[in-house]
Amino acid sequence: MITVQFELNGKAVSVDCPPERRLLELLRETFHLTAAKPGCGIGRCGACMVWIDEQPVNACLVMAWQLEGRRVRSYENLATSTESAPVRDALARCGGLQCGYCTPGLAMTLTHLHRLEPRPKRDEAALLLAGNLCRCTGYGGIRRTLAQLFDPAIQAPLDESTPT
Amino acid sequence: MNTPDHTPDLTPHRLIDHAGLLALARPRPDAAAKLAATPFPSDHLGDQALHGAILGSPHPHARILAIDTRAARALPGVHAVLTAADIPGTPCYGLRHVDRPVLCADKVRCIGDPVAVVAADTAEQAHAAVAAIRVDYALLAVVDDPLHALEAQAETVHAGGNLLHHLHHAHGDLGAAVAACEHVVEDEYHSPRQMHAYLETEGGIVEHDDDGRLVVRFGCQNPERDRQVIAGILNLPPDRLRVIGTPVGGSYGGKDELTIQPLAALLALKTGRAVRLHLNRGESTDLGVKRHPMRMRLRSGCDADGRLRFIEADILADTGAYATHGPEVLDAAIEHVVGPYAYDAVSLRGRLAYTNNGIAGAFRGFGAVQTQFALERQIDRLAALAGFDPLCFRQRNLAAPDAPGPLGQHVLPFDGPHRALDVLRTHALWTAPHRHADGRYLYGTGLALVHRSDGFGKGGPNAARLVLALAADGKLELRAGFTEMGQNLIGAATRMMADHLHCAEDDVRIVLGDSALTPDSGPTAASRTTSIIHRALRDHGPRWRAALVDAARVDVELPSAARTAAGGLVSEAGHPVLDYPSLARQCATTRPTLVIDLPAEETPSDIPAAHLVFGASAALAQVRVDSWSGQVKVERLVLANALGPVISAEGLLGQMEGGAVMGQGMATIEDLPSPGGRYAARNLDGYFIPTLADAPEIEVLAIENLMADDPAGPRGAGEISVNVAVPAVANAIAHATGLTVTRLPVTPDTVLDHLERQA
Ligand code: FES
Ligand code: FES
């Protein structure tokens, strides 16, 4: 067992747990924050995405000992913040979610990309989003969301269905 | 050239193009809740809930000699270790065949087959207890091939033998039809074991409420049926159970049947505590159902004029260890292998075998997609032999809109297949060359046409009960035992309520998927829910509008022509008279409700499992094949859907795009082999599904026409995109490479082998 102290959604927290305990499990079981989802547990689906020190990270791959002194932000916190408002709005308006299970993870990644300076172009953003699997949408609504949030790389006609 | 002789004079298409659909699309009503991280069933942690864990079989096929749970029971934190002997009621469940043990008593039939189940204070303790259970097995021969399963000397998976279901259908003079043929194509096609890969694995909680009920909360597709079945297993009256099944983090058919709910309920009953059970991806892969792999021998032919004369099909499907929906899947495979085409003679045979290859069950596209792949390959091959353009060949061979259905049954007249082809005929992707090469890359465009049934076949659970009610807060409620799995049922239902009740969408609330609040509406499956709600509101909406006005009249003087409108009742001239919240307050004790019992609408023909209603879709796929790596990239998909009036543009777009990419996955990358009865992968690092980078550009077109006096209205949109995308991609790969595609997915190795042989 170790004691880890880190910042979670703006508050200092401390937990005693085995050093290899995954952040995803800490969030869900210890802190009862269930927006991060256990889709695969091995870093393949992105449903468990959180931010650590402002960088998107799969919470299922992070162990407790790695958290000491870090700043963790989960979607519960982001969902009520203005930073994610354009992303949430675009996802809703563009049909970027269906069942919604991938949505918190997707919104974590998208918001991160949208806040980056300089903001990535649409094709770069699409590339960086390939780690967030969605089984429902076929990515159609997610592409439209990207078109709403990110400029195309080169001068292209303003066509939402233009592939990224 | 090639005047299609069955093409009727079509009235102008009522076509909405992709941009038109986008313009009509609006945010889903449940988007805000989902974006606010509202919990899914598997996110409910409960108060002091115990953790459940399952001991599954490590063997695909074995007899259980002894189970010793003593050591497990003695471990700290363990509250229950249960085996089959602890089940108070019915030990097995199933749909048409009740063959699946809640917990295995005498033998195990697949990897992960549950043998014992544990509840403990923590997940670690539960897993430690599972590890401490001792089971002695006597291994049995593993049946991992459906063909071998049907041989006389095969080990039997179930006592009744390995042939679970078979059917045969024939009409017409086959000999004469074959004799009339100039071109005949015969081949064996193979379709893969596809995994649903819903991102929310099976999980949820069972709690005890203050009324002494067990509240079972797991994503599902039919809460009321689940309640009845779980009640039987626990030997409780159904009213001691409440089943909540919505929202669902993806299902696609995979959560239609019960899986682990009975185990969680059993633990909660025995411990008197709340119990959580949530499978990890590996366990979900083991226990969750898959798409039935099929071997399909097809032989069909056309005459010198390019007219189809006959089709013969012999289908063998692998249902794995338990029946679940297997028989209906095979029925659908047979009914759809004929397609929307006319023949002089058909001869169809299907067999469904038990094996030890996991469990196959319901999956979007449901049996039909497998045989539509094989059929549409045959059609393309015959068209080439006869020297016809693939689209003209299909047009030429369509059954007339008022022709009988695929099994000769009475069906609703429908010209959707004619329209879908006609719309694609002039599409730029089709009028461009269908194949070209650009250095390393080979490009090909493929076409497919499918029609598919709505609802269940004759004799299935086609009836539905829905309730309309005025809620205490004045909302006009539609209560249905369906669940929201992402298909935008809430959005479509809201729109239909507003349309048929002449009110605003804000006046409406859709209450779903909770056996305590919603009636038995039957399964949320078979692309049926939109059609059912439409029928209910179309036929009973006027009565309900009148009931609301009548309810108001009891206490208030209303103008004689008062009617429902946005916000409340209005006078004939549209002046507000009474808003809905006031109406609800006024009739606090006798708020009106209307119970709607929709009878099953089935074909009058006496053919088991035959369908009455069909929708249609045609698709173009453009692929780019990398001749160096053999990799197939689907670049474009165009789907022309003839499904009647569009209820929800965002729902249609979402279902089409999502299903198409799922079909693309099945055609190009997805398969879960089961050598020796063991799945070759247990997670998303070994089983790949399409990512954003793989997804093609998709264009969705909606053809809204239905035949005059069509009684059914809008067709379901939940599945047909899978059905049509799979053969379209397969045909596109064939055009791009010249490969005779007979096996899905088309792997890079297959492509490279083919290109090498050609060189
Ligand atoms: S659960 Fe972490 S990436 Fe899938
Ligand atoms: S919306 Fe269901 S997985 Fe993305």
pLDDT digits (tens, 9 = 90+) for B603-642: 999 999 999 999 999 999 999 999 999 999 999 999 999 9
Q: Examine the domain organization and report whether A148 and A93 are in the same domain.
A: yes
Same domain, A105 and A121: yes
A59 CA to centre of ligand 1 in angstroms:
7
pLDDT tens track for B704-716 = 999 999 999 999 9
- Identify the residue among A32, A34, A136, A159 best suited for mutation to test binding to B, counting B beta carbons within 10 A and taking the highest: A136
The strand pairing partners of B167, in sequence order, are B350
Residue A79 has pLDDT above 70, yes or no: yes
Cross-strand bridge partners of residue B359: B320
> In degrees rounded to 5, what are phi and psi of residue B226?
-60, -40
Please check whether residues A32 and A52 belong to one and the same domain.
Answer: yes
Q: Which amino acid is at B392?
A: C
- Please state, in angstroms and rounded to a whole number, the distance separating the CA atoms of residues B258 and B261: 6
pLDDT tens digit sequence for A17-43 = 999 999 999 999 999 999 999 999 999
CB atoms A126 and B692 under 8 Å? yes
B742 three-class SS: coil
Q: What are the pLDDT digits (tens) for B386-430?
A: 999 999 999 999 999 999 999 999 999 999 999 999 999 999 999
Write out residues 16-35 of A within 8 Å (CB-CB) of B.
28-29, 32, 34-35
Residue A160 within a domain? no
Q: Which of A78, A98, A120 is the last residue of a domain?
A: A78
Q: How far is the CA of A35 from the centre of ligand 1 (A)?
A: 12
Distances from the Cα of B560 to the Cαs of B556, B571, B573, B577, in angstroms? Answer: 12, 8, 11, 12
What is the reported pLDDT for B2? 40
Q: Are residues A51 and A87 in the same domain?
A: no
pLDDT tens-digit series, residues B169-200: 999 999 999 999 999 999 999 999 999 999 99
As a whole number of angstroms, the distance between CA B250 and CA B221 comes to 10
CATH number of the domain enclosing A7: 3.10.20.30
Q: A44 contacts in B (CB within 8 Å)? A: 683-685
Chain B residue with Cα closest to A75: B37
What is chain A's mean pLDDT, rounded? Answer: 94
A-to-B residue pairs, Cβ atoms closer than 8 angstroms: 173
Residue A47 lies in a domain: yes
- Supply the pLDDT for residue B4: 47
Distance (Å, whole) CA B610 – CA A117? 59
CATH architecture of B463-598: 2-Layer Sandwich (3.30)
Distance A42 CA to ligand 1 centre (A): 5
Instruction: Determine the distance separating the centroid of ligand 1 and the alpha carbon of B697, expressed in angstroms.
Output: 26
> Which range among B6-20, B134-148, B343-357, B440-454 shows the weakest confidence by mean pLDDT?
B6-20
Same domain, A89 and A117: yes
A92 to chain B: which residues are within 8 Å by CB? Answer: 27-28, 31-32, 35
Boundary (domain end) residue, out of A78, A99, A117: A78
Cα torsion for A89, A91, A92, A96, to the nearest 10°?
A: 170
The pLDDT of residue B527 is 86
How does residue B287 score in pLDDT terms, banded at 50, 70 and 90?
very high
Q: B561 Cβ partners below 8 Å, 6+ apart?
A: B571, B572
Percentage of chain B with pLDDT > 90?
96
pLDDT band at A164 (very low <50, low <70, confident <90, very high): very low
A75/chain B closest Cα distance in angstroms: 8
Q: Cβ separation of A133 and B653 shorter than 8 Å?
A: no
> For the domain bounded by B41-140+201-248+255-287, which CATH number is listed?
3.90.1170.50
**Cα distance from A68 to chain B (closest Cα, Å)?**
24
Chain A nearest-CA distance from B519, in A, is 23
Residues 116-155 of A with CB under 8 A from B: 126-127, 129-144
Question: Is the CB–ligand 1 distance for residue A47 below 6 Å?
Answer: yes
> What stretch(es) of chain B map to CATH 3.30.365.10?
15-24+290-457+605-758, 463-598
Q: How far is B278 from chain A (nearest CA, A)?
A: 10
Q: Residue B399 contacts by C-beta under 8 Å, 6 or more apart in sequence?
A: B6, B340, B341, B342
Q: What is the DSSP string of chain A?
A: -EEEEEEETTEEEEEEE-TT-BHHHIIIIIS---SS--SSSSSSS-TTEEEETTEEEEGGG-BGGGGTT-EEE-HHHHTTSGGGHHHHHHHHHHT--SS-SSHHHHHHHHHHHHHSSSPPPHHHHHHHTTTS--SSSTTHHHHHHHHHHS--SS---S-TTS--
**Which residues span the domain enclosing A107?**
82-152
Asked whether residue A58 is assigned to any structural domain, the reply reads: yes
Q: Cis peptide before B696, with omega less than 30 degrees from 0?
A: no
The per-residue pLDDT for A153 is 78
**Which residues, in sequence order, are CB contacts of A154 under 8 Å at separation 6+?**
none
Place of tokens 């880190």: A6
Domain match, A54 and A94 both: no
Number of domains in chain A: 2
**Which residues of chain A does B40 touch, with a Cβ-Cβ cutoff of 8 Å?**
34, 37, 100-101
Under the banding of pLDDT at 50, 70 and 90, the label for residue B531 is very high
- The pLDDT of residue B581 is 97
Q: How far is A116 from chain B (nearest CA, A)?
A: 20
Residue predicted with more confidence, A163 or B647: B647
Q: With respect to residue A128, please indicate whether it lies within any of the assigned structural domains.
A: yes
**Minimum-distance CB partner of A138 among B25, B36, B661:** B661
Whether residues A57 and A37 share a domain: the answer is yes
Ligand nearest to the CA of A23: 1
Identify which ligand lies nearest to the alpha carbon of A47. Answer: 1
Query: What's the alpha-carbon Rg for chain B, to the nearest Å?
Result: 27
User: Is A43 close to ligand 1, i.e. is its CB under 6 Å away?
Assistant: yes
Closest CA to B502 of B569, B553, B576: B569
Are A7 and A74 in a shared domain?
A: yes
Asked whether B702 and B420 are in contact (CB, 8 A), the reply is: no
Whether A28 is covered by a domain: the verdict is yes
Q: To 5 degrees, how large is the angle CA B43–CA A20–CA A59? A: 45
pLDDT given for residue B1 in this prediction: 36
Average pLDDT over residues B80-86: 98
| Structure confidence at residue B21 (pLDDT) | 98
Give the mean model confidence (pLDDT) for residues A112-138: 97
- Average pLDDT (A139-153) is 96
Q: Which of A28, A48, A129 to mutate to test the pocket of ligand 1 (most atoms within 8 A of CB)?
A: A48
pTM > 0.90: yes
CATH number at residue A138: 1.10.150.120
Nearest to B654 among A42, A132, A141 (CB): A141
| Predicted pLDDT at A162 | 44
Is B280 within 8 Å of A41 when comparing Cβ atoms? yes
Domain C-terminal end among A36, A63, A78: A78
Task: Please tell me the distance from the alpha carbon of residue B750 to that of residue B757, in angstroms, as a whole number.
Answer: 11
Q: Give residue A154's pLDDT.
A: 66
- Candidates A153, A145, A151; CA nearest to A86 is A145
Judgement on whether residues A33 and A97 belong to the same structural domain of the protein: no
Q: Is residue A163 part of a domain?
A: no
Computed over every residue of chain B, the mean pLDDT equals 96
CATH class of this structure's domain B15-24+290-457+605-758: alpha beta
Same domain, A94 and A142: yes
CA distance B115 to B119: 14
Q: What H or E segment, with its residue span, contains residue B384?
A: helix B368-386
Of B34, B250, B657, the CB nearest to A140: B657
| B372, B421, B436, B494 from B728: Cα distances, Å | 10, 13, 17, 34
Q: Is A98 in the pocket of ligand 2 (CB under 6 A)?
A: yes
Per-residue confidence at B589, pLDDT binned at 50, 70, 90?
confident
Q: How far is the CA of A111 from the CAs of A75, A142, A145, in angstroms? A: 10, 13, 12
Q: Average pLDDT of B649-668? A: 98
- The DSSP-derived string for B418-474 is HHHHHHHHT-HHHHS-SEEEETTEEEEEEEEEEEEE-S--TTSS--EEEEEEE-TTS
Tell if the CB–CB gap between A135 and B695 is shorter than 8 Å: no
Of the candidates A95, A100, A129, the beta carbon closest to that of B650 is on A95
**Pair A30, A71 in one domain:** yes
Give the distance (Å) from ligand 2 centre to CA of residue B498. Answer: 27
Mean pLDDT of B135-160: 97
Query: According to the model, what pLDDT value does residue B557 have?
Result: 87
Name which of A45, A99, A126 is nearest B486 (Cβ-Cβ): A99
Q: For residue B378, with 0-12 CB atoms within 10 Å meaning exposed, 13-18 middle and 19 or more buried, which class applies?
A: buried
Same domain, A71 and A102: no
Stretch A3-22: mean pLDDT: 98
A138–B662 CB contact, under 8 Å: yes
Q: Does ligand 1 have an atom closer than 6 angstroms to the CB of A104?
A: no
- Identify whether A10 is part of a domain: yes
Residue B655 CB-half CA count within 13 A: 33
Whether A8 maps to a domain, the answer reads yes
Q: Which of B320, B408, B394 is nearest to B672 (CA)?
A: B320
Q: Is A106 in the pocket of ligand 2 (CB under 6 A)?
A: no
B650/B644 Cα distance (integer angstroms): 15
